[in-house]
Amino acid sequence: AQTVTQSQPEMSVQEAETVTLSCTYDTSESDYYLFWYKQPPSRQMILVIRQEAYKQQNATENRFSVNFQKAAKSFSLKISDSQLGDAAMYFCAYKRAGAGGTSYGKLTFGQGTILTVHP
Amino acid sequence: KAGVTQTPRYLIKTRGQQVTLSCSPISGHRSVSWYQQTPGQGLQFLFEYFSETQRNKGNFPGRFSGRQFSNSRSEMNVSTLELGDSALYLCASSFDRSAGKLFFGSGTQLSVL
């Protein structure tokens, strides 16, 4: 079974600074997707960034970028120029790729990292 | 485009009762998934529905069930509620099932007394 581990229960950053959230995962699959989701106090999970395992290039979305190390099974999220609105719980998630009923709709999530942004 | 809508936002029930939660996906999304979120267990996958059929199921007892209607709206039902069922229940919809991009609602917070 796949597992996702976030070893940092809490992180903090000063506004305008950069912070990196860590995530490791375990899988025997070669093709999969990795995600970072953000959950603010409103409780809605918001997709931040997505990485396809077969792509070597790291995904980037504006101030958010990832460092994907497939061999090490590591997937960290870097937030640049942190803003107060970035404060939230961040979840790393894994999904098996390909067709097949057991992969549809199912993400495996880590335990989350609470990010605090100080003004 | 409207996002994923879940109703109600809060619910209080007592042990032994049953409850039904509702989820309206983003227009055009035909896949709906349900997740349970608790402080202890984190986010756990319950099941996925597509074209009115359950296609994938997580490791939950049979007291947890669901259905999907022809307009892709979905309901989740929990019978014989237990204290441990207290949780945030999140619904997510997707357009491309294989790509894994899920769009979540704000959830229903269920408290079982």
CA atoms within 13 A on the CB side of B15: 4
A89-112 confidence digits (pLDDT tens): 999 999 988 766 567 778 999 999
Chain A touched by B11 (CB under 8 Å): no
Other CB atoms within 10 A of residue B8 CB = 11
From CA B70, how far away is CA B50, in angstroms rounded?
Answer: 10
- Segment B83-91 mean pLDDT: 97
Q: Verify whether the Cβ–Cβ distance B45 to A97 is below 8 Å.
A: no
Average pLDDT, chain B: 94
Provide, as residue numbers in chain B, all residues whose Cβ is less than 8 Å from the Cβ of A38. Answer: none
What pLDDT was estimated at residue A108?
94
pLDDT given at position A101: 58
Res. B79 pLDDT band, cuts 50 70 90: very high
Residue A22 has pLDDT above 80, yes or no: yes
